[in-house]
């Protein structure tokens, strides 16, 4: 009975995590791209002064939703850790996801707090700092941290994939978790070879593809969790 109660709690964490992740992915990805493009798009990188001249607060707003994505992802993997009876693989999944969230959260706090402050108090002397962190700069530290952060998140889904067993929906969810893992790792490794690719046409297409993949992953995860919860509810009554 105690395990059943803990499983229900883990299911609730999983559902909350999935909802947060869906909202965070959607609002920090496709919707944010449309909003920024409509209100104040950044031109191709040509220096800090041009970046500052074309800056708009909406460009930082997207990172707040990115934090919701990260929070939801941690909740999802945490639920897997408990539902999978604290197995070694699910523990590794949780560790890698925590590393990812630490790296990416740092990145997003910089964009949400430091960049607006630098722009409000801008002088040409700040050009090196703006250049280092500007999202529009394909060679910025932002993209190095971002891509490696999502690489670690991919390791998290890679180790969490074993949680889904059987055929049908469970198998499809496992494939999505593994695919996200390998794709995210590939992106991180390629970034180490050619950092500036992230803002190329191929890089932007990959960004769109990842968002779509991650949304499907979370939707499938949520359905699996809801089905398992219903099954446990029937067994416990």
Q: Along the 237 residues of the chain, how does pLDDT read in single tens digits? A: 557 888 899 999 999 999 999 999 988 876 777 777 777 888 999 999 999 999 988 888 889 999 999 999 999 999 999 999 889 999 999 999 999 999 999 999 999 999 999 999 999 999 999 999 999 999 999 999 999 999 999 999 999 999 998 789 999 999 999 999 999 999 999 999 999 999 999 998 998 899 999 999 999 999 999 999 999 988 876
Distance CA 135, CA 60 (A): 10
Distance CA 18, CA 37 (A): 27
Q: By C-alpha distance, which of 117, 92, 227 is closest to 164?
A: 227
Segments making up each domain of the chain, as ranges: 2-236
Q: What's the full length of the chain, in residues?
A: 237
**pTM of the complete model beyond 0.75:** yes
Residue 17 parent element (H or E): helix 2-28
Tokens 């029937």 sit at which residue? 234
Neighbours of 39 (CB within 10 A): 12
Distance CA 20, CA 23 (A): 5
CB 67 within 8 A of CB 100: no
CB 18 within 8 A of CB 72: yes
């Amino acid at each position: 009975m105690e395990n059943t109660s803990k499983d229900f709690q883990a299911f609730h964490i999983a559902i909350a995590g999935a909802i947060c992740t869906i909202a965070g992915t959607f609002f920090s990805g496709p919707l944010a791209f449309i909003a920024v493009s409509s209100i104040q798009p950044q031109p191709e990188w040509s220096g800090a002064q041009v970046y500052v001249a074309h800056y708009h607060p909406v460009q930082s707003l997207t990172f707040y939703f990115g934090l919701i994505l990260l929070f939801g992802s941690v909740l999802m993997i945490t639920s897997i850790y408990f539902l999978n009876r604290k197995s070694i693989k699910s523990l590794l999944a949780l560790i890698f996801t925590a590393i990812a969230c630490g790296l990416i959260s740092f990145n997003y706090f910089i964009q949400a707090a430091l960049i607006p402050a630098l722009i409000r108090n801008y002088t040409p002397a700040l050009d090196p700092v703006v250049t280092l962190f500007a999202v529009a700069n394909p060679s910025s530290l932002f993209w190095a941290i971002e891509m490696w952060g999502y690489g670690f998140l991919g390791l998290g889904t890679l180790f969490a994939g074993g949680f889904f067993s059987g055929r049908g929906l469970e198998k499809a969810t496992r494939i999505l978790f593994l695919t996200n893992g390998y794709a995210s790792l590939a992106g991180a490794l390629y970034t180490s070879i050619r950092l500036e690719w992230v803002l190329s046409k191929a890089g932007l297409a990959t960004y769109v593809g990842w968002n779509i993949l991650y949304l499907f992953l979370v939707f499938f995860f949520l359905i699996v969790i809801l089905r398992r919860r219903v099954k446990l509810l029937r067994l416990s009554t």
